[in-house]
Amino acid sequence: MYLQHFGLSEFPFRITPDTGFAFSAQSHQEALNTLLVALQCGEGFVKITGEVGTGKTLLCRRLLQTLGDGGAVTAYLPNPYLDPDTLLRALAEELQLGDADGLDQFHLLKRINLGLLDHARQGRRVVLCIDEAQAMPLPTLEALRLVSNLETEKRKLLQIVLFGQPELDEKLADPSVRQLLQRIGFHHRLSGLGRAEVALYLQHRLRVAGYRGEPMFSDGAVRALRRASRGTPRLINILAHKSLLSAFGEGRQSVRRRHVRGAARDTEGAGSPGWW
């Protein structure tokens, strides 16, 4: 496609969450700092929310990578639409508790507790990251609270980080899970990229993909991208990719405002890029 034309080694605007392309936007860096501080303080629950496409999954992967480098034991549940029993079995599998098969819920919870105690004796923190947490049924959220009760006199045996869309806040407002809501010590709301960050974001991803030339997106194209995407990274990626295709089709080496306008017309969820 356009890789050779623009001097790229790989596609710069894929929508898959690749930590190699991670950009330290202000909101993302603040969220990561909040997570690291909260976990270091021993908080049992931490919550991160953000609209679709703001980079929650990428942030989750960055956190898991950082914790893994620090020697912590991590567990990851990408699809938490589970009943309480299946949630406990998924957690046991993530903790590699091979003798948990066939246990009822009481003994399964007891086995998880023993496994967490083993990690605590060896000085290891255990962190469970749950993506798309807004999809969790209310009974499963309550089961998660019960798991969070596992603790010693000094600290929690399991720390839990919830990543979800704003609907997660609505679900946690339900009276049946009010005890869980009270246990969330730290939370952060992800926002989109600011005006100055969009140009830096584009340059960063192009540089990681191997581009070494002059700025590829004109000032007008950057402003149009910011308006059409409202600063949402996933939409920026989709629009930037389509804009590059359009410029490549014309045989041009740079992206202009008209290329972004065409991409916005062709993209569901994009706003108007404006004329000025």
Residue 123 lies inside a defined structural domain of this protein = yes
Each residue's pLDDT tens digit, 21-79:
999 899 999 999 999 999 998 888 999 999 999 999 999 999 999 998 888 999 999 98
Domain span including residue 7: 3-15+193-265
Each residue's pLDDT tens digit, 158-176:
999 999 999 999 999 999 9
Three-state SS annotation for 32-57? HHHHHHHHHCCCCEEEEECCCCCCHH
87-108 mean pLDDT: 87
Among residues 160, 189, 218, which one ends one of the domains? 189
User: How many structural domains is the chain composed of?
Assistant: 2
Among residues 167, 189, 211, which one ends one of the domains? 189
pTM for the whole thing?
Answer: 0.91
Question: What CATH code is carried by the domain that includes residue 258?
Answer: 1.10.8.60
- Tally of helices (H runs) and strands (E runs) in the chain: 12, 5
CB contact burial 99-136 (16+ within 10 A = b; e otherwise): ebeebeeeebbebbbebbeebbeeeebbbbbbbbbbbb
